[in-house]
């Protein structure tokens, strides 16, 4: 065998070995976007459309949280909940805002932007990806329970964090009968039907089983779990799964 042929065989043999070595996944967790929106808000449909596009991206977890306070404008939001409204007001208090507004996107619990301003949303996503902590979360579902396993962080000094459970409807289409959007048909993705705190995470591994009987929320097909510093601070863990057990993004 000539030297040239020997070297070529050696090269391809080494390449095959390299390709066979498992490569660790370097992907970070998804940036969480919470859109506070309302069917009674004429400024919201562009933000709802933006969230539809963002919900298809693997690097973000895009959630829509319809609120109740614009119901007075002549149309009662068919997807809104007081829980969503309370969550937005809690963010406003934590961030030092004078009030709430729609459409608002809260980015990873640390900043907010007008939900229809795509450039600002993208800038906020990029900023979070450069400054992100990640608590590992594993979700699985069985016929009678949701199992949540939350890992630890290597840092010794870790703030206590709230574990939030969100029941999510993957898609909804609503024809608006009155109010500012009367006559329009609006589409929504990842609509939060209920949000509630289920545990306190103190930096150590935590395992939870949520019985199906405790998840009797009408109209949802996925669940999301957020780990959030304090109550309404920085989000440091996020995961969503379909109720059939299929992983969602």
pLDDT tens-digit series, residues 150-179: 999 877 677 899 999 999 999 999 999 999
Is residue 53, in this structure, part of any structural domain at all?
Answer: yes
- pTM listed for this prediction: 0.86
Give a yes or no: residue 199 inside a domain: yes
Q: What own/partner pairs with CB < 8 Å and gap ≥ 24 does 109-116 have? A: 109/32, 109/228, 109/229, 109/232, 109/233, 109/234, 109/235, 110/233, 110/234, 110/235, 114/47, 115/35, 115/36, 115/37, 115/44, 115/47, 115/50, 115/51, 116/43, 116/44, 116/46, 116/47, 116/50
Burial 5-24 (b: 16+ CB within 10 A, else e): eeeeeeeeeeeeeeeeeeee
Q: Does 16 map to a domain?
A: no
* Structural domains of the chain, count: 1
Q: How confident is the model over 70-120, as pLDDT tens digits?
A: 999 999 999 999 999 999 999 999 999 999 999 999 999 999 999 999 999
Contact 220, 170 (CB under 8 A): no
Do the Cβ atoms of 211 and 223 come closer than 8 Å?
Answer: no
pLDDT at residue 133 in the model: 81
**CATH at residue 133:** 2.60.40.10
Q: What residues make up the domain containing 185?
A: 27-242
Query: Does residue 11 belong to any structural domain of this protein?
Result: no
Q: Is the residue at 5 inside a domain? A: no
Q: Is position 19 within any domain?
A: no
Does residue 105 form part of some domain? yes
Is the pLDDT at 40 greater than 90? The verdict is: yes
Assigned domain for 12 exists: no
Q: Which residues contact 61 (CB under 8 A, 6 or more apart)?
A: 30, 31, 32, 33, 190, 224, 238, 240, 249
- Amino acid 214: pLDDT: 63
pLDDT computed for residue 20 by the predictor:
36
User: Does the pLDDT of residue 15 top 70, yes or no?
Assistant: no
Write the Ramachandran bin of 108: left for phi over 0, alpha for psi from -120 to 50, otherwise beta: left
């Amino acid at each position: 065998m000539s030297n040239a042929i020997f070297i070529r065989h050696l090269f391809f043999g080494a390449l095959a070995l390299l390709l066979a070595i498992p490569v660790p996944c370097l992907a970070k967790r998804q940036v969480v976007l919470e859109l506070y929106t309302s069917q009674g808000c004429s400024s919201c449909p562009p933000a709802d459309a933006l969230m539809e596009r963002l919900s298809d991206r693997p690097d973000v977890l895009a959630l829509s949280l319809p609120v109740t306070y614009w119901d007075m404008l002549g149309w009662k939001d068919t997807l809104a909940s007081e829980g969503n409204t309370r969550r937005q007001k809690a963010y406003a208090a934590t961030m030092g805002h004078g009030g709430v507004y729609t459409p608002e996107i809260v980015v990873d619990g640390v900043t907010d932007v007008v939900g229809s301003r795509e450039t600002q949303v993208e800038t906020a996503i990029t900023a979070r990806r450069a400054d992100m902590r990640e608590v590992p979360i594993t979700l699985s579902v069985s016929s009678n329970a949701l199992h949540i396993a939350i890992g630890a962080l290597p840092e010794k000094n870790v703030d206590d964090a709230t574990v939030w459970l969100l029941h999510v409807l993957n898609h909804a289409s609503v024809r608006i009968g009155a109010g500012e959007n009367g006559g329009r048909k609006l589409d929504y993705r990842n609509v939060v039907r209920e949000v509630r705190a289920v545990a306190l995470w103190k930096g150590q591994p935590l395992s939870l089983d949520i019985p199906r009987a405790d998840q009797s929320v009408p109209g949802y097909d996925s669940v999301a779990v957020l780990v959030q510093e304090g109550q309404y601070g920085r989000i440091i863990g996020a995961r969503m799964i379909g109720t059939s057990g299929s992983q969602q993004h």
